[in-house]
Amino acid sequence: MDGETASLDQLVLEALPCPVLVIDAGGILIYLNSASERELGVKKEEIISRSLIESLYQGKKFDHRGRYSSALIETLETGREFSLRPEEIKTALHVLPKVFLVDTSILRNQDGGVVGACAIYHNFLRDRRLLKETVMNRLTTVSEQFETIYAFAEAIGARDQYTMGHSEKVAEYARLIAEALGLSEKEVDLAYICGVVHDVGKIGVPDSQQARGPNNG
């Protein structure tokens, strides 16, 4: 029965559309599902049994601000578990770092000892609900205003197929640039919001007068 349960667990993990990574108590990758290979542009046989930091973070445990580069490693070393924490990973498939929202958990044995940690990586741009929820949670003092702003941006996207999703992408690039410049967390969030609303003016432009296509945006 235990073998059957383990096989079922394996099938479930492999069926998930999001990357799932598991590390042991030493930070060594001991499992990654098929989605990890697709989303991260890695091959299981090349990084399994290797250090997570060396494999996906160019050997850098901390970023330029002194924060953990990997939520999974931070969970392992501090015991702090995360829900939808934004994280950048430089993949072989993308010029700029790819952004994920990460859920992490500590893994313990029957005696309560830490044996490792696991994480699920949600695609930041693909899941609009998670994207909006994350920023709104960090900007609770202006959550109602942001809800209105986001509604305008989505209304524009509904009218224009090219614009649909474009604002979120601009917002994400703005956030990456703001972080690279070393701006504060609040300034980074404001840069993201500016990206979301940069095309709001289109809401008052008649459809017949709106240019279409990537060369006219």
| Last residue in a domain, options 104, 123, 142 | 123
Encode pLDDT of 121-152 as tens digits: 988 666 666 666 666 665 555 555 666 566 65
In the chain, what percentage of residues exceed pLDDT 70?
A: 67
Q: How many domains does the structure of the chain reveal?
A: 2
HEC profile of the chain: CHHHHHHHHHHHHHHCCCCEEEEECCCEEEEECHHHHHHHCCCHHHHCCCEHHHHHCCCCCECCCCCECCHHHHHHHHCCCCCCEEEEECCCCCCCCEEEEEEEEEEECCCCCEEEEEEEEEECCCCHHHHHHHHHHHCHHHHHHHHHHHHHHHHHHHHCCCCCCHHHHHHHHHHHHHHHCCCCHHHHHHHHHHHHHCCHHHHHCCHHHCCCCCCCC
Q: Which domain holds residue 154?
A: 128-209
Output the pLDDT for position 1: 42
Residues 189 and 154 in one domain: yes
Output the pLDDT for position 156: 59
Residues 27 and 84 in one domain: yes
CATH code at position 80: 3.30.450.20
Residues 118 and 134 in one domain: no
214 located within any domain = no
Output the pLDDT for position 171: 82
Encode pLDDT of 149-195 as tens digits: 666 566 655 556 555 567 778 888 888 888 888 888 778 888 888 88
19 located within any domain = yes
Encode pLDDT of 190-215 as tens digits: 888 888 777 766 655 655 655 555 55
215 located within any domain = no
**pLDDT mean across residues, the chain:** 79
Residues 109 and 139 in one domain: no
Residues 141 and 117 in one domain: no
Average pLDDT of the segment spanning 91-106: 78
